[in-house]
C-alpha cells in the first residue's frame, strides 16, 4: 500500500504526454523533414524511421524513462531544497525523459536502418524537444492563478460515537477537501 503512495514528477510528465497524444503527429512530421534534410533519406525511409521510432519511443521509451527517473530521485532529492518536487527536479525530469526517449528512438532506428547513433540522435532530438517544450509550457501555465484543492481520505480513530439514547454513529472513512490559494497556502484546516 505504501508503494501506491509514491509520486514523482515523471509520472505527471508521462500523464501529460498521453494527454497530448496528438502532438506525436506533429513530432513525426517535423522528424520526417529533419531526417530527410540531415540524413539524406528518401521520403519513404524518412516516414518509416519517424513513425517506427516514435511508436517505440512513445510506448516503451517514455514509460521506461518514467521509472528510470526514480534512480535520479534516489540521488538528487538529497541535494534539493524541496526534494522530489523542487524546480530543478522538474527541469531535470523534462530533460532526462526527453533525452532518454530520443535515445530509445535512436536505438530502434539504428537497429532497423543500420545507421549510427551519432548521425541519428540530433535529427530525432529536434522533433522531440519541441514536443517536450510544449508540454512543459502547458504544465507551467496550467496552475497559474488557480487555487488547488486536495482531496484527503482518512479513517477516524475512534470510529464509533455514541449519540443520544442507544444510537451509535460509525464512520468507516471520511473525505475532506483542503483548499490552497495561489501561493499554495492552506485556506482551510
Are 39 and 110 contacting, i.e. CB atoms less than 8 angstroms apart? no
Say yes or no: 34 and 61 in one domain: yes
Say yes or no: 171 and 83 in one domain: no
And the C-alpha cell for 65? 524513462
Look at residue 136 in the predicted model and tell me its pLDDT. 80
Q: Give the whole-angstrom CA distance, residue 34 versus residue 46.
A: 9
Q: Exposed, middle or buried: residue 168 (CB in 10 Å: 0-12, 13-18, 19+)?
A: exposed
Q: In terms of pTM, does the model score above 0.75?
A: no
Say yes or no: 58 and 130 in one domain: yes
The answer as to whether 59 is a domain residue is yes
Q: Give the whole-angstrom CA distance, residue 152 versus residue 156.
A: 12
Domain range holding 176? Answer: 148-180
**Which phi and psi angles does 150 have, rounded to 5°?**
-110, 125
Look at residue 174 in the predicted model and tell me its pLDDT. 64
Look at residue 87 in the predicted model and tell me its pLDDT. 82
The count of domains in the chain is 2
The answer as to whether 188 is a domain residue is no
- The separation between the first and the last C-alpha atoms of the chain, rounded to the nearest angstrom, is 26
Q: Give the whole-angstrom CA distance, residue 48 versus residue 6.
A: 38
Say yes or no: 42 and 130 in one domain: yes
| Cell 497524444, located at residue | 21
Size of the chain in residues: 189
The answer as to whether 161 is a domain residue is yes
Say yes or no: 156 and 117 in one domain: no
Pick out the chain residues at pLDDT < 50: 1-2, 4
pLDDT digits over 114-168, tens only? 999 999 999 889 888 888 888 788 777 765 555 656 666 666 677 778 888 788 8
Are 155 and 174 contacting, i.e. CB atoms less than 8 angstroms apart? yes
The answer as to whether 185 is a domain residue is no
Say yes or no: 24 and 81 in one domain: yes
Say yes or no: 159 and 130 in one domain: no
What does the DSSP 8-state code read for residue 6? -
Look at residue 188 in the predicted model and tell me its pLDDT. 63
Amino acid at each position: 500500500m505504501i508503494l501506491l503512495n509514491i509520486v514523482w514528477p515523471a509520472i505527471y510528465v508521462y500523464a501529460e504526454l498521453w494527454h497530448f497524444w496528438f502532438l506525436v503527429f506533429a513530432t513525426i512530421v517535423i522528424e520526417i523533414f529533419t531526417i530527410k534534410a540531415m540524413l539524406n533519406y528518401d521520403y519513404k525511409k524518412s516516414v518509416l524511421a519517424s513513425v517506427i521510432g516514435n511508436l517505440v519511443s512513445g510506448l516503451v521509451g517514455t514509460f521506461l524513462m518514467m521509472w528510470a527517473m526514480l534512480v535520479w530521485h534516489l540521488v538528487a532529492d538529497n541535494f534539493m531544497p524541496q526534494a522530489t518536487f523542487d524546480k530543478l527536479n522538474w527541469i531535470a525530469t523534462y530533460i532526462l525523459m526527453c533525452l532518454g526517449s530520443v535515445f530509445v528512438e535512436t536505438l530502434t532506428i539504428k537497429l532497423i536502418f543500420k545507421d549510427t547513433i551519432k548521425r541519428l540522435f540530433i535529427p530525432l532530438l529536434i522533433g522531440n524537444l519541441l514536443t517536450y517544450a510544449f508540454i512543459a509550457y502547458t504544465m507551467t501555465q496550467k496552475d497559474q492563478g488557480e487555487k488547488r484543492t486536495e482531496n484527503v481520505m482518512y479513517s477516524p480513530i475512534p470510529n464509533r460515537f455514541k449519540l443520544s439514547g442507544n444510537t451509535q454513529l460509525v464512520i468507516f472513512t471520511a473525505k475532506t477537501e483542503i483548499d490552497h490559494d495561489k501561493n499554495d497556502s492552506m485556506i482551510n484546516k
